[in-house]
Amino acid sequence: MREVFGRSVEFRIDYASAQQNDEEDDEPVVKKRPLVLTPLNPILTFDNFVVGPNNMFAYSTCVEVAKNPGKYNPLFLYGGVGLGKTHLAQAIGHYLFRHQPDLRVIYLTSERFLNELVDSIKKGKVQDFRERFRARIDVLLLDDVQFLTGKTGIQTELFHTFNELYNLGKQIVICSDRDPSNLNSFQDRLISRFQMGVVAKIERPDEETSFKIAKKMVELEGGKLDEEVLHLVAKHFSDNLRRLRGSIIKLLMHQQISNERITVELARELLSISSIQSNFSISDKFVYLLCQEFKVTPDELFGSSRKKSILIARQVGIYVAKNYLGMSLRQIAELFKKSHPTVSHAIQKVEEEIKKKNSEILLKIERISKLLSARVSSQII
């Protein structure tokens, strides 16, 4: 509340008593209850998952696994933080609870897996732990396996659990923030088992998918936000959908409390998205730095003037774009509004000057690249 209002406010929480009758009329009196070994987040279902080019393969594989547990074994899902791994793993759980309530499905984080083992050791009940995970489950959904990095004891335990389940044809799904071969200080025998089935990667969503996800999140929260606002947050937080959701919730909360329509400007302010930061791409910011450093204007830089100071700014800019920003020749040609040969020629020119140890050029390159790396790493260009 304080964050939204910028000051302390008084508030009251009202709630209805939870005595509603939760039996629905058309349901059978004796309902088969799924064996819920772990609570799942009700939102994280396949229905609520937006499919895009970034997660298509992972999504289809998960649906396939949910329909035919044991078919792709193990399924190893990986991708950056907040890109939907937990969502998909839990969606498999939901699907199975619903369609095959007899199956014993367990979802847990690797941290919990470790804690349960430690607990069982303390209580002298390791045998119970083993039986629980090796003999009494049909589907194991193990999240965030990277958490077990460097923890040898639990890795050994996981190895044996894995083998036992695998040999019985039980489905295993593992989530991780990196691919199996990048799980450093993991036992090789575990890594090779992780790679035995299907390895599916979730990438960062493109702008369109990210927008659809944002829209879905607003819908799930039962709120409403303008499309431009959704575009803003979708673009800004597409690298981590957890942050996307957090920012949406913050906006909706503000809207509800203050009764103020969220405009793009207000959203920027509330989420501290500076307009420079979100409106300009790295290359725009690069041009800005270049012009400042060489005291030229963008028009001069992109124009055809052969004036020495402008020519040098242009050539050094092209060189830095190639070697420090990793842009392709085509991208550089587009940015500088020049032909391909002109771009190649500029790079050659600067390379010659570097060979001749032209200190003026060398100094400029160093300054620009320093400014760039400082700004890029702190993302405030």
Residues of the shown chain interacting with ligand ADP in the complex, contacts defined by CB under 6 A: 44, 48-50, 55, 79, 81-87, 213, 216, 241-242, 245
Amino acid found at 100? Q
Reported residue count of the chain is: 381
Alpha carbon 186 to chain centroid distance?
A: 23
Tell me the residue nearest to ligand ADP as measured from the CB. 84
254 binds, among ligand ADP, Mg ion, none (CB under 5 to 8 A by kind): none
Could you say which of ligand ADP, Mg ion, none residue 55 binds, taking C-beta under 5 to 8 angstroms by partner kind? Answer: ligand ADP
Residue count, binding to Mg ion (CB under 5 A): 1
Looking at the Cβ atoms of 79 and 197, the one nearer to ligand ADP is 79
Which residue, 61 or 86, is less far from Mg ion as judged by CB?
A: 86
**Minimum distance from residue 236 beta carbon to ligand ADP (Å):** 15
CB of 41 to ligand ADP, least distance (A): 8
Distance in Å, CB of 85 to ligand ADP, minimum: 3
Which entry of Mg ion, ligand ADP, none binds 180, CB below 5 to 8 A by partner kind? none
Q: With respect to ligand ADP, which residue has the nearer C-beta, 49 or 336?
A: 49
What is d(CA 70, CA 218) in angstroms, rounded to the nearest whole number? 35
Find the shortest distance in angstroms from Cβ 75 to ligand ADP: 14
Cα dist from 255 to 135, 193, 213, 218, 277, whole Å: 51, 49, 20, 12, 24
Nearer Cβ to ligand ADP (230/320): 230
Minimum CB distance to ligand ADP, residue 91 (Å): 9
HEC string of the chain equals CHHHHCCCCCCCCCCCCCCCCCCCCCCCCCCCCCCECCCCCCCCCCCCCCCCCCCHHHHHHHHHHHHCCCCCCCEEEEECCCCCHHHHHHHHHHHHHHHCCCCCEEEEEHHHHHHHHHHHHHCCCHHHHHHHHHHCCCEEEEECHHHHCCCHHHHHHHHHHHHHHHHCCCEEEEEECCCHHHCCCCCHHHHHHHCCCEEEEECCCCHHHHHHHHHHHHHHCCCCCCHHHHHHHHHHCCCCHHHHHHHHHHHHHHHHHHCCCCCHHHHHHHCCCCHHHHHCCHHHHHHHHHHHHHCCCHHHHHCCCCCHHHHHHHHHHHHHHHHCCCCCHHHHHHHHCCCHHHHHHHHHHHHHHHHCCCHHHHHHHHHHHHHHHHHHHHCCC
Nearer to ligand ADP, 74 or 82 (CB): 82
Picked from ligand ADP, Mg ion, none, the partner binding residue 49 (CB below 5 to 8 A depending on kind) is: ligand ADP
245 binds, among Mg ion, ligand ADP, none (CB under 5 to 8 A by kind): ligand ADP
Which CB, 130 or 178, lies closer to ligand ADP? 178
Residues numbered 35 to 94 that lie near Mg ion (CB under 5 A) are 86
Q: How far is the CB of 358 from ligand ADP (least distance, A)?
A: 49
Comparison of 155 and 176: residue with beta carbon closer to ligand ADP: 176
Least distance to ligand ADP from the beta carbon of 146, Å? Answer: 11
Output the smallest distance, CB 241 to Mg ion, in A: 10
Residue placing its CB nearer to Mg ion in the complex, 200 or 350: 200
Select the binding partner of residue 50 from Mg ion, ligand ADP, none (C-beta < 5 to 8 A, by kind). Answer: ligand ADP
Residues that bind Mg ion (CB under 5 A): 86
